[in-house]
Structure 1
Amino acid sequence: MTNKYSAAALLLFASFASAQAQDAARIANKVLGNDGQPELVQFTAEGKAAMRGLSGDQVLRQQLALTKADQMMQRTAETDQLGFVHQRFAQYYQGIRVEHADYLVHSKGGAVESINGDFDRISGLDVNPSVSQKAALNSALAHIGARTYMWQTAEANAESFKPTGELVIVRDRRAGENGPRVLAWKFNVYAAAPVSRAFIYVDAHTSQVVLQDDIIKHAAATGTFATAYSGSRSFTDGTTTGGYFLREGTTRGLGIETYNCKKGNSYTAAVDFIDADNNWTATEYNNANFDNVAGDAHVGAQATYDYWKNVHGRNSYDNAGAKIKSYVHFDDTPATAAGYENAYWNGSVMTYGDGATRFRPLTSLDVCGHEIGHAVCEKTANLTYSNESGAMNEGLSDIWGASIEAYAVGTLGFTSGGVKAKSTWLIGEEIDKVQAALRSMSDPKSLGQPAYYKGVNWYTGTGDNGGVHTNSGVLNHWYYILAVGKSGTNEGGGVYNVTGVGIDAAAKITYRMESVYMVASSTYAQARSYAIQAATDLYGAGSAQVTAVTNAWFAVGVGAAAGGTTPPPATAYCTSKGTSQAYEYVKLVQLGNINRTSGADAGYYNGTATSTSVAAGSSQTITYQTGFTGTAYAEYFRIYADWNQNGVFTDAGETLVSSTNTAAVTTTRSASFTVPTTAKNGPTRLRVVMSDNSATNSCGTYSYGETEDYTISVTGGTITAPTLTGDAPTRSELRTLSMFPNPATDVLNLSLSDNAAITSVMVNDLRGARVSGATFGEGTLHIGGLAKGMYTLTVSDGQKVYHQRFVKE
């Protein structure tokens, strides 16, 4: 029986469910921090439409569920070159600044795309100080303990340096980075002897100093370390009682710190490396413990931070200055004394083993960049670590490892100091004792990876999370081709010719693909679309960079080439299947990289994702075996290869095996064949048919037995011409819009590539609103009446619309 209370509860539940549904419809993605507060919110089209017209602080009030005690005050508003407007807001609680808590609103064309930042949920905090400003300053000065302060000197402006207190809310860092929020007096204290300058925060209720934030960071020092892999490097570290240690303060974000696990597996038991004179020489550190690799981890982390900051404008891996901690001499099983053959990012810190039989200590520069690249991915696309998304997660880390190594060598002056020389397109070359490197981006197949999507070496099993360290080769090779350029014929028979855009442009395109467009479940096909869009955002539709991106994907077997060409279309093959496997089935097929042992597969197994490469004219041996459930019977094998890729196996030379042995054979059988010199390049169907009936051929159903299909990739044979699809483009579709100069002061000259007439011109501001003050005539747009800033230009020829951005100076 329903009473008024249960009815009310149902109403409340319905209201809650409705709010949840609305939230789900409007929010594409929400990431919560450890405190349960949103760190990132991305909106759907419905969400953007619902918030159109709201100011940035109104959006934050709605999305962060601000109370009357919470305020967001805009600090800055910046517009980037892509037309995104980024508003930065400072958090206040009851009118008092919450120190270091900022939130950003990102919008484009008047629509809010996303918000992100650090918001502290504060309640019940007493904001009335019980310690006076004067008493708090005395505590601050006692904490500094200088002999003379700047306001006590004879400098003409000395009085201006006398500290004035500001009430703020700040974390008590004595309790760690996530210490409790307290009300504090903030002072800018400038000491003359000894010299120092810092923000000092004094608890406004206890007079205790809770934080010192150095402005003059003289505690940091410049040392020299004879590293294991990068020669002698100058680097920034810190001072401590008795010497110097591998801790850089806040020069780079919240700092770079490197610790010694002492061949143990405890982070909390790790200690500092300390040097007496800050000259970390080979005599001291190139020892049996490989202590010189601590320098590699430290300068590697610094170089990685510098790369992300200087090339991509990213402040550490989380874009919020996160501290980068590295732990060397880690061993997960110290009792065995075998050495730890791995390096990894555990979600918060870097961990490096010393290696053993396979690896040298795993602190090489590209490994540092690779592992911290996982942290960047975690904070951006957060690609799920399995199958294609996991392979791209690994591939992106290889891309960043290679790019950071190239940046460090070319810009920062890193050298090769170890057993092997640095090589941009080899990953882990300096640490590998067994082979040339872990992976090759220029030639993935040379080290067991695929260079072509679902081609040779593509892994289809469940191990290694679906082959994430193998199938990453496709993304690696795409990046190499995009950066350097390459021409040739791919495994699908497609001819390509890619002009490289350089590693800088390739990196910018890849970073935007990862950080702006990719999502956790992204596939290779989606990555292609995202990369093309990223290149379009950065360099414009139809640009050389967009063409290179598109054709590089085509080269590795993902999607069509620029201009409408596609890989050869998939060929349809007839059905072949056994109706019963009660007595026998195909147990083994082995040819090159195809090596499958199995039980019954219900009459047919599609193994076309598994492939091996064969050269035209080469001799090959295929091994096969029948499996029996009980008594062995006489079985017949027919094995075919569609060398001309026409969809049938009846052409001359396409029957590789036609066994006539009528005896019951339980052991493996083998047969040799020669790949025709006339075989077409690219994927070729291999069909294995096993039946108890000697009349069974390549098509149709049969009584007892099984069929299995695989792929042979032919190289060195005849070339299959790419197939053109779609109608020829019209003249309008081929046109491009040119404008100059940009930036402009008074006039902007506009023209279409084939001198077609421009029928209309419209100028919009970054919110998407049309603006007046600009007139067009005879190829010239007069913009003298516009305010300074960035605008969007919309031009039409009556058939096609063109969009460009320009800056009015």
Structure 2
Amino acid sequence: MGALAIVLMAPNLRAQNGGDTLDFQLRTDKTVSNARFKPDKSGKRKLSEAAQFFKTLHNAGNDDQFVLQRTQTDNLGITHRLYQQYYKGIPVEGAQYAAHGHQDEIETVNGEFAKVKIAGDQPGVSEKSALALAQKFVGAKKYKWEDAQLQAHMQKMGHAGYSPKGSLVVTRDERQAGRPWRLSWKFTISALEPESEQLVFVDAWDGHILDAVSLLCNTNAPGTAETLYSGTRNIMGDSWSGQFRLRETRNNVNISTLNALRGTSYGAAVDFTDNDNNWTAAEHTANWDRAAPDAHWAAETVLDYWQTVQGRNSINGSGLPVQNYVHFAVDWDNAQWDGVGNAMRYGDGNPAKLYTIPFVALDVVAHEFGHGINQYTANLKYEKEPGALNEGFSDIWGAVIENWADPNKQTWLIGEELGFIPLRSMSNPNAFGQPDTYHGTNWVNVDNCTPVGGPTGNDYCGVHTNSGVLNFMFFLLAQGGAGTNDIGNAYNVSGIGIFEAARIAYIAESYFLTPNSTFADARNAFINASHALYGPNSCESIATSNAWYAVGVGGPFAPSGMSISGPNHVCGTSDPFGITSLPPGAIVTWSKDGPVDIDNPNSNTTTVTQFDYGWTTLTATVTSPCGLNATITSAPIQVGNPYMVGPIETSSNGLGAGENLCNHDYDYDDWVNTMFITVNPAPPAWDTWTLHWEMYGPNGLAMSWTGTNPNLGLPFIMPASQEPGWYNVDAWITNSCGQTSDYYETGFYYVDCKGASRFSMTVYPNPATGGNLQVVMEEPEAAKLPANAKVASSEQITFTLYDMKMTSMMRIWKVPSGQKKHLLNTTGIKAGQYILVMTKGSLKRTQQVLIK
């Protein structure tokens, strides 16, 4: 059958305010009733400074103040701050304003701001006189504070009792045209004969009664209703002028169900009434009036679901009143959410068309309520793909709430109670002309589509048709299913249940979608929500990815975020290894290579035990009953002590191992060498390895030194005083296990070239302090130099200060030759160890110095 163009939501017609606001609603007096804001990049819109923000928002004067009443943070992490308006230090009755947002940013505000103008703030009538006037107005024979037993009971319960105490407030004169603001005494008058509880407001200037509010007659009155679609149900109404009407306050949210009299003006709507709050079919059959209790009970049920299951306070999350208008328009076979008036309206059906009875079934009411939820969360644009998502979410809430309230109804059919044929099927969208696959059969191509509404339009580019894709995805997510979709993808989805699927849908809609979101965005939103709620590799996340794959959006589930956690090294028996982001119910099997044994190969966590030294890699195979199958490999893990491979390599500005230093150092200076060692494998960045070196020569231990980076080399100085001969090197490494690995290497042959006079250099003080370093020179006699030495006594002497690796030159001093002592200024040089090199012609001397 062809697609039905039943429009269940009017496009949002509210005016958009530019600049900082996303939504800006005004009351008839031009005060702001509700506003939502864009992210605050300036950081000036702070929740902690909401009172000042309200003053700016309302252009309030110096006499207006906002005083914080309470602060609450809900289970979604949203903070709500409620303020009472004061005028010249006096509370304004009923004028409260609230700010809402995450952390310290105002995102939404709502409430009532009163433009108060009164002549003065001092009463002309005393509290005692005003109380007498209030009692005269009530006219009781006996008051509860006059009954000693009642007073004693109240005091026993921790209350002050019934004795009225007046408080000054600013309130409207509800009994005068124009409802002017007046200074008032406010009393709670508790009468016993006849019984009543009333708030009485007495004009503080002339004593006339401004208003009286019954605390009994305006409270909820339990009743019953024989509904059109859901049998006999308990409802709440309120007592009013000797009758009952479909109005109530439910968990601090006002619900009203009014009779639109088949017109389209909210202002002309009137109350439905009943004599005893037992709304029977016999009493209310005429004109389809039985539809009113249906709409009212359904609104109660939907509000209860959102508050008790999802923790949401009404449509906007902040207690927005729920307004129902039944008998809306003439022969109207539809229902709508009005995004401007924040109201739901229901037609009675059209006798000349397919649907001839009122559109007030539970899933229809929940659907329209869902459009309101969307307006205050994702606010999906009502056209093309965003519009199809908007419709799909409303169908989701219709099905979810119908199942929650009455599982015996047909959950996966939408509007099945409205006539002989449902509006849509979520379990089989194709049956009613919708697609069950993105770009599959029945898909409305939205490319180059111009959205047009109305009976002759294109349903804003198929929003009620393409919503079938989201509907079927949600059905599979909740119930599961297997098959092949229209584009050839074979799928198998394990259902997670409608409750869990609804949790994911709500988080996705609330936090991860924006007005122009597409089906691809929706897939990401659902996946993000499933990760946040259940973990990235949970059965719920697996089902979410696979359900979207089933409708042709994205690929099947792929593991996310799993890795092997645990120590980087094993010293004997390791600390435990585990898996990050491991979902509940998963099964882990461990394997390895390298010199360790797996202690618990079939456990979610395991330790390993070393039997040799080297490196190992662990592999974990992770499976779960709902289809997870992943193989994870660790990074290399150090086991025991490190090991080294030869040879040890040495370098001295071009010298190779075993070379005669005299062939290169004609002045027999102390020569700076760098020694390297090859370590296999290379030391890891996370571990601290210490290299220990000892060099042995003809006379035993010649020198020793340590370093912490074996593959960058260690500089050392070979003193010219060492005896010639073969020099051997021992090197070993200490790592975090506290173990060592030895390596022995025959080193190089060092020739001292004795027989020539020394060209000596003495440096003092060493360590150098006070910014000066003194060098004393003893120059050799030319006759005793080697034949190939080139020395000219008139040559300039250069002193160069290097870092210990001889890679950075710190400072140069040039001094004349022929002086025995030279004073070098070290001011400004950072404290530390350095190498001082003296050159004169081809002669060179090297000395390690310490500067403090």
User: Offset at 1:431?
Assistant: 0.4
Distance 1:441 1:272, change over 3 A: same
Distance 1:532 1:45, change over 3 A: farther
Name whichever of 111-120 and 423-432 sits farther off. Answer: 111-120
Find the aligned partners of 1:174 and 1:559 in 2 and give their Cα distance. Answer: 64
| Aligned: 1:309 with 2:307 | yes
For the Cα contact (< 8 Å) 1:82–1:538, is it kept in 2?
no
Find the aligned partners of 1:73 and 1:122 in 2 and give their Cα distance. Answer: 16
Name whichever of 449-458 and 69-78 sits farther off. Answer: 69-78
Letter of the 1:344 partner, please give it.
Q
Letter of the 1:432 partner, please give it.
G
Letter of the 1:450 partner, please give it.
P
Distance 1:237 1:30, change over 3 A: closer
Find the aligned partners of 1:369 and 1:302 in 2 and give their Cα distance. Answer: 10
For the Cα contact (< 8 Å) 2:382–2:463, is it kept in 1?
yes
Letter of the 1:33 partner, please give it.
L
**Structure 2 partner of 1:350:** 344
Find the aligned partners of 1:271 and 1:450 in 2 and give their Cα distance. Answer: 42
Letter of the 1:245 partner, please give it.
F
**Structure 2 partner of 1:318:** 316
| Aligned: 1:365 with 2:362 | yes
**Structure 1 partner of 2:238:** 238
User: Offset at 1:314?
Assistant: 3.0
For the Cα contact (< 8 Å) 1:352–1:362, is it kept in 2?
yes
User: Offset at 1:202?
Assistant: 4.2
Letter of the 2:364 partner, please give it.
V
User: Offset at 1:427?
Assistant: 0.7
For the Cα contact (< 8 Å) 1:225–1:233, is it kept in 2?
yes
Find the aligned partners of 1:186 and 1:503 in 2 and give their Cα distance. Answer: 50
Distance 1:267 1:499, change over 3 A: same
What is the SS of the residue equivalent to 1:164?
A: coil
1:440 pairs, out of 420, 425, 448, with: 425
| Aligned: 1:118 with 2:111 | yes
What are the superposed Cα offsets for residues 609-662 of structure 1, whole Å, 9 maximum, x if unpaired? xxxxxxxxxxxxxxxxxxxxxxxxxxxxxxxxxxxxxxxxxxxxxxxxxxxxxx
Q: What does 1:435-584 correspond to in 2, within 5 Å?
A: 435=421, 437-460=422-445, 462=451, 463-563=458-558
**Structure 2 partner of 1:676:** none
Find the aligned partners of 1:64 and 1:476 in 2 and give their Cα distance. Answer: 43
| Aligned: 1:88 with 2:82 | yes
Q: What does 1:720-799 correspond to in 2, within 5 Å?
A: 731=564, 735-736=579-580, 754=605
Name whichever of 166-175 and 273-282 sits farther off. Answer: 166-175
What are the superposed Cα offsets for residues 20-71 of structure 1, whole Å, 9 maximum, x if unpaired? xxx999x4745343335373344536334x5689655566667666654343
Find the aligned partners of 2:579 and 2:74 in 1 and give their Cα distance. Answer: 27
User: Offset at 1:139?
Assistant: 4.6
Distance 1:524 1:105, change over 3 A: same
Distance 1:490 1:70, change over 3 A: farther
Distance 1:231 1:451, change over 3 A: same
Q: 5+ unaligned residues in a row in structure 2: which ranges?
A: 1-16, 452-457, 567-577, 585-602, 609-684, 688-852
TM-score, reference length from structure 1? 0.59
| Aligned: 1:247 with 2:246 | yes
Find the aligned partners of 1:374 and 1:202 in 2 and give their Cα distance. Answer: 44
Distance 1:341 1:58, change over 3 A: closer
What are the superposed Cα offsets for residues 307-332 of structure 1, whole Å, 9 maximum, x if unpaired? 22222333332344444333333333
User: Offset at 1:181?
Assistant: 5.3
Find the aligned partners of 1:449 and 1:302 in 2 and give their Cα distance. Answer: 31
For the Cα contact (< 8 Å) 2:537–2:583, is it kept in 1?
no
For the Cα contact (< 8 Å) 2:537–2:559, is it kept in 1?
no
Find the aligned partners of 2:437 and 2:176 in 1 and give their Cα distance. Answer: 52
TM-score, reference length from structure 2? 0.56
| Aligned: 1:153 with 2:140 | no
User: Offset at 1:153?
Assistant: 1.0
| Aligned: 1:259 with 2:255 | no
What is the SS of the residue equivalent to 2:418?
A: coil
**Structure 1 partner of 2:224:** 224
For the Cα contact (< 8 Å) 1:325–1:349, is it kept in 2?
yes
Distance 1:232 1:391, change over 3 A: same
**Structure 1 partner of 2:651:** none
For the Cα contact (< 8 Å) 1:93–1:122, is it kept in 2?
no
User: Offset at 1:428?
Assistant: 0.5
What is the SS of the residue equivalent to 1:122?
A: coil
For the Cα contact (< 8 Å) 2:535–2:581, is it kept in 1?
no
Find the aligned partners of 2:376 and 2:580 in 1 and give their Cα distance. Answer: 37
User: Offset at 1:735?
Assistant: 3.6
For the Cα contact (< 8 Å) 2:47–2:100, is it kept in 1?
no
User: Offset at 1:205?
Assistant: 4.7
Find the aligned partners of 1:529 and 1:522 in 2 and give their Cα distance. Answer: 10
For the Cα contact (< 8 Å) 2:75–2:311, is it kept in 1?
no
What is the SS of the residue equivalent to 2:148?
A: coil
Find the aligned partners of 1:313 and 1:427 in 2 and give their Cα distance. Answer: 25
What is the SS of the residue equivalent to 2:465?
A: coil
Find the aligned partners of 2:26 and 2:138 in 1 and give their Cα distance. Answer: 35
What is the SS of the residue equivalent to 1:558?
A: coil
What are the superposed Cα offsets for residues 440-470 of structure 1, whole Å, 9 maximum, x if unpaired? 1111111111122222211135411111111
Letter of the 1:470 partner, please give it.
T
What are the superposed Cα offsets for residues 515-572 of structure 1, whole Å, 9 maximum, x if unpaired? 344333333233333333334444444444333333333322233333179xxxxxxx
Letter of the 1:408 partner, please give it.
A
Letter of the 1:161 partner, please give it.
Y
| Aligned: 1:428 with 2:415 | yes
**Structure 1 partner of 2:811:** none
**Structure 1 partner of 2:193:** 193
Distance 1:87 1:477, change over 3 A: same
What are the superposed Cα offsets for residues 205-226 of structure 1, whole Å, 9 maximum, x if unpaired? 5655555555445764333222
Find the aligned partners of 1:308 and 1:561 in 2 and give their Cα distance. Answer: 31
What are the superposed Cα offsets for residues 383-411 of structure 1, whole Å, 9 maximum, x if unpaired? 3222222222222222222222122215x
What are the superposed Cα offsets for residues 493-512 of structure 1, whole Å, 9 maximum, x if unpaired? 33433333332333233233
Distance 1:46 1:208, change over 3 A: same
Letter of the 1:430 partner, please give it.
E
| Aligned: 1:376 with 2:368 | no
Find the aligned partners of 1:195 and 1:798 in 2 and give their Cα distance. Answer: 80
Larger Rg: 2
What is the SS of the residue equivalent to 2:314?
A: coil
What is the SS of the residue equivalent to 1:191?
A: strand
Distance 1:173 1:367, change over 3 A: farther
For the Cα contact (< 8 Å) 2:144–2:192, is it kept in 1?
yes
Find the aligned partners of 2:374 and 2:261 in 1 and give their Cα distance. Answer: 30
For the Cα contact (< 8 Å) 1:182–1:203, is it kept in 2?
yes
Distance 1:118 1:367, change over 3 A: same
For the Cα contact (< 8 Å) 1:432–1:438, is it kept in 2?
no
**Structure 2 partner of 1:275:** 274
Find the aligned partners of 2:214 and 2:191 in 1 and give their Cα distance. Answer: 12
User: Offset at 1:473?
Assistant: 1.5
**Structure 2 partner of 1:701:** none
Find the aligned partners of 1:174 and 1:350 in 2 and give their Cα distance. Answer: 31
For the Cα contact (< 8 Å) 2:244–2:276, is it kept in 1?
no
Q: What does 1:129-144 correspond to in 2, within 5 Å?
A: 129-144=123-138
Find the aligned partners of 1:187 and 1:547 in 2 and give their Cα distance. Answer: 61
Find the aligned partners of 1:756 and 1:213 in 2 and give their Cα distance. Answer: 72
Q: Identical aligned pairs, as a percentage?
A: 39
Distance 1:40 1:47, change over 3 A: farther
User: Offset at 1:236?
Assistant: 1.7
Find the aligned partners of 1:47 and 1:100 in 2 and give their Cα distance. Answer: 32
For the Cα contact (< 8 Å) 1:38–1:64, is it kept in 2?
no
